[in-house]
Amino acid sequence: MNHTSRPARRVLISGASIAGPALAHWLDRYGFEVTVVERAAAVRGGGYAIDVRGTAREAVDRMGLLPALRKAHVDSQRITFVDAAGEPVGSLQPEQLTGGEAGVDLEVRRGDLADALYTPLRDRVEFLFDDSIATLDDVGDAVHVVFDSGLRRTFDLVVGADGLHSNTRRLVFGPEEPFHRYLGHVFAGFTLPNEFGLAHEAVIWNEPGRSAVLYAHEPADRLHGFLTFTRDTPPFEAFRDPRAQRDLVAARFPERVW
Ligand SMILES: Cc1cc2nc3c(=O)[nH]c(=O)nc-3n(C[C@H](O)[C@H](O)[C@H](O)COP(=O)(O)OP(=O)(O)OC[C@H]3O[C@@H](n4cnc5c(N)ncnc54)[C@H](O)[C@@H]3O)c2cc1C
């Protein structure tokens, strides 16, 4: 068979965050015709810094993303553990905790990473924002897709990169509960004003069963807060209910310090 005369295979990817555009990059490079559908109106920004080291650094290098990610590097210099009164107990360099390599590893805000993946692709790959897969009909050698917008298209392959609560998985395999492997911890991430004058550092308080972390990038940025706590059962009821999420967190962190 003449490989070059073969028509491009049409691939639909659901989700334009990290995994979706990363896969789109490689499929596009190898001649696939790629469409990415994203439920949000644009690539979603936000999130604290994510380490790019080891295999990940090699991957972004091969993808030609190193210059953009170097520019976005947030360069955390210190992690300080504090006691319940907020007094420092000890400090570490981030690499002592992560096992990474100072000066080589990159640390990039999640939104900047998503943007660096999306920007070089946006004119090469079709992005359908503000839409979602409504139904999938797998007929063996093709998949007929109907989108929430009413658009109907046919693809050779559909890939779910739509996160922990994947819509694609639900449509193909049913409700997510049986696929969920709960590790006993609940996480809440949010932003808050940088009233502590923190910069390029993280501050951590923890006790058995609960922890609180503040991440600071540039002094002018908002802080990223991160609360974790143990819980015997997964909070399925709160997954899509922001008020229930806030109530859950407030019940485990009842202290008011302001
Ligand atoms: C806004 C946001 C902030 C985050 N912040 C952090 C962080 O600070 N630190 C960290 O380590 N991780 C963070 N994460 C998680 C981290 O990005 C992912 O866990 C990890 O990168 C895996 O990426 P992913 O592409 O597999 O999934 P996700 O990053 O979870 O992306 C899934 C994408 O699919 C989209 N989507 C969901 N449902 C549908 C649907 N029905 N149809 C179409 N699209 C859909 C979502 O809008 C999202 O863009 C964040 C994720 C998001 C979305």
DSSP for 167-213, please give it: HHHHHHH--SGGG----SEEEEEEEE--TT---SEEEEEEETTEEEE
Tokens (6 digits) for 85: 């009164």
Please tell me whether residues 152 and 165 are part of one structural domain. yes
**Relative to the CA of 16, which ligand 1 atom is closest?**
49
Residue span of the structural domain in which 221 resides: 181-252
What pLDDT sits at residue 6?
A: 56
Q: Is residue 97 part of a domain?
A: no
Give residue 135 CA to ligand 1 midpoint distance, Å. 21
Please tell me whether residues 156 and 209 are part of one structural domain. no
The Cβ of residue 243 has, within 10 Å, a number of other Cβ atoms equal to 8
End-to-end C-alpha distance for the chain, whole angstroms: 71
Residue showing tokens 């210059």: 67
User: Which residues have any ligand 1 atom within 6 Å of their CB?
Assistant: 14-20, 37-40, 44, 46-48, 50, 110, 132, 161-163, 167, 189
Separation CA 148–CA 44 (nearest Å): 19
Q: Is residue 237 part of a domain?
A: yes
What pLDDT sits at residue 26?
A: 97
Encode burial over 128-141: b for 16+ CB neighbours within 10 A, e otherwise: beebbbeebeeeee
Please tell me whether residues 208 and 172 are part of one structural domain. no
What pLDDT sits at residue 1?
A: 36
**Relative to the CA of 15, which ligand 1 atom is closest?**
34
Query: Tens of pLDDT along the chain (258 residues)?
Result: 334 455 669 999 999 999 999 999 999 999 999 999 999 999 998 787 888 999 999 999 999 999 999 999 988 889 999 999 989 999 999 888 877 777 788 999 899 999 999 999 999 999 999 999 999 999 999 999 999 999 999 999 999 999 988 999 999 999 988 888 899 999 999 899 999 899 999 999 999 999 999 999 888 888 999 999 999 998 888 888 999 999 999 999 998 654
How many domains is the chain partitioned into structurally? 2
Residue showing tokens 């139904």: 135
Give residue 44 CA to ligand 1 midpoint distance, Å. 8
Q: Which of 179, 197, 221 is the last residue of a domain?
A: 179
Please tell me whether residues 210 and 173 are part of one structural domain. no
What pLDDT sits at residue 8?
A: 65
R_g over Cα of the chain: 21
What pLDDT sits at residue 2?
A: 38
Q: Which of 179, 213, 238 is the last residue of a domain?
A: 179
**Relative to the CA of 43, which ligand 1 atom is closest?**
49
Q: Which of 159, 179, 199 is the last residue of a domain?
A: 179
Please tell me whether residues 22 and 147 are part of one structural domain. yes
**Relative to the CA of 133, which ligand 1 atom is closest?**
42
Separation CA 185–CA 230 (nearest Å): 4
* 109 Cβ neighbours under 8 A, 6+ residues apart: 47, 48, 49, 50, 72, 74, 217
Please tell me whether residues 123 and 189 are part of one structural domain. no
Please tell me whether residues 118 and 193 are part of one structural domain. no
Give residue 160 CA to ligand 1 midpoint distance, Å. 12
What pLDDT sits at residue 98?
A: 78
Q: Is residue 107 part of a domain?
A: no
Separation CA 12–CA 158 (nearest Å): 5
Separation CA 163–CA 13 (nearest Å): 12
Tokens (6 digits) for 217: 């990038």
Q: Is residue 233 part of a domain?
A: yes
Phi-psi region of 143 (alpha: psi -120 to 50; beta: other; left: phi over 0): beta
Give residue 76 CA to ligand 1 midpoint distance, Å. 23
Please tell me whether residues 57 and 18 are part of one structural domain. yes
Separation CA 149–CA 26 (nearest Å): 27
Please tell me whether residues 162 and 185 are part of one structural domain. no
Q: Is residue 239 part of a domain?
A: yes
